[in-house]
Amino acid sequence: MDEILKTVGLSTQLVLAALVAIGVFTSLLAVALPAIGGSKLKTRMKAVALERDQIRARERARLASEKERSRGLRQTDNRGFAGAVVEQLNLRKALVDDKTVATLRAAGYRGQRPLTMFLFARVALPLVFLAAAAFYIFGLGLLADWPMAARILIVLIAAYFGFYIPVILVKNTASKRRMSIARAWPDALDLLLICVESGNSIEAAFRRVAEEIGIQSIPLAEELILLTAEALLPARPQGRL
């Protein structure tokens, strides 16, 4: 009888220990998950704050010296190997239009550097895909039973896919970004109304809404912060780009 009681007591202790361990693990998980999720938000918000400061600094430089601004833009455009390739091939004139710039902005890519990298990718990736397809088909003998014309056609299709894949990636990113903003926009409007009715200024209201809505939609938080930064900039003189 004593042995049975000891066995039952030992089993009860093991069950209690297991329940305590599960409880501790659940508590640690509940504390750690918000911290892990918030790290990405803090990183993105810090990046947006830096971009806002860059916008203000660039506009102050533009107002101080138009000549210095133009020289800075040329340096930014031609920086690096990718910029040199884009400049030498004159890809901006050949591949860039208003729709391309609007799509890049919708995807969250602003400035000259993302545009340069996008154009460089549209030139470099076709060559990479072409070389890879030619190596596998002609070098390794893949599809050796196929006619020569068919194999050449496959290589050209691979090159065309490499040329078009940057457009697909940017469009997909823009679509996901629009969806995220559209879902969070009604809540952002409600928060903005509450902040304004409580007596906050427009800038303070936008900043507060950006901080709160960033948990739900980081792209919308970025746009609100940039909107605040651009709204504080002086108007550009007429007749200037």
Condensed to tens digits (0 to 9), the pLDDT of residues 63-94 reads 555 544 444 444 444 458 888 888 888 888 88
Which strand (E) or helix (H) includes residue 125?
A: helix 112-134
Please count the other Cβ atoms lying within 10 Å of the Cβ belonging to residue 167. Answer: 15
Query: Is position 118 within any domain?
Result: yes
Residues 94 and 187 in one domain: yes
Tell which residue, 113, 108, 126, 68, has the closest CA to residue 86: 113
Query: Is position 239 within any domain?
Result: no
Residues 87 and 4 in one domain: no
Residues 198 and 167 in one domain: yes
- Residue 148: C-alpha distances to residues 16, 129, 132, 155 (Å): 73, 18, 17, 11
Tens digits of residue pLDDT in 143-185: 888 899 999 999 999 999 999 999 999 999 999 999 999 999 9
Tens digits of residue pLDDT in 197-212: 888 888 888 888 988 8
- Residue 11: C-alpha distances to residues 89, 197, 215 (Å): 77, 61, 45
Percent of the chain whose predicted confidence (pLDDT) is above 90:
28
Residues 81 and 14 in one domain: no
pTM for this prediction: 0.61
**Residues spanned by the domain of 172:** 39-231
Residues 20 and 52 in one domain: no
Residues 1 and 45 in one domain: no
Q: Please, are residues 176 and 107 in contact by the beta-carbon 8 Å criterion?
A: no
Across residues 40-62, what is the average pLDDT? 61
Residues 27 and 119 in one domain: no
Q: What is the total count of domains within the chain?
A: 2
Asked whether the predicted pLDDT for residue 223 surpasses 70, the reply is yes
Query: Is position 240 within any domain?
Result: no
Residues 88 and 168 in one domain: yes
Asked whether the predicted pLDDT for residue 229 surpasses 60, the reply is yes
Query: Is position 135 within any domain?
Result: yes
Across residues 30-35, what is the average pLDDT? 50
Q: Please, are residues 209 and 224 in contact by the beta-carbon 8 Å criterion?
A: yes
Residues 145 and 160 in one domain: yes
Residues 136 and 201 in one domain: yes
Mean pLDDT across the chain: 76
Residues 71 and 21 in one domain: no
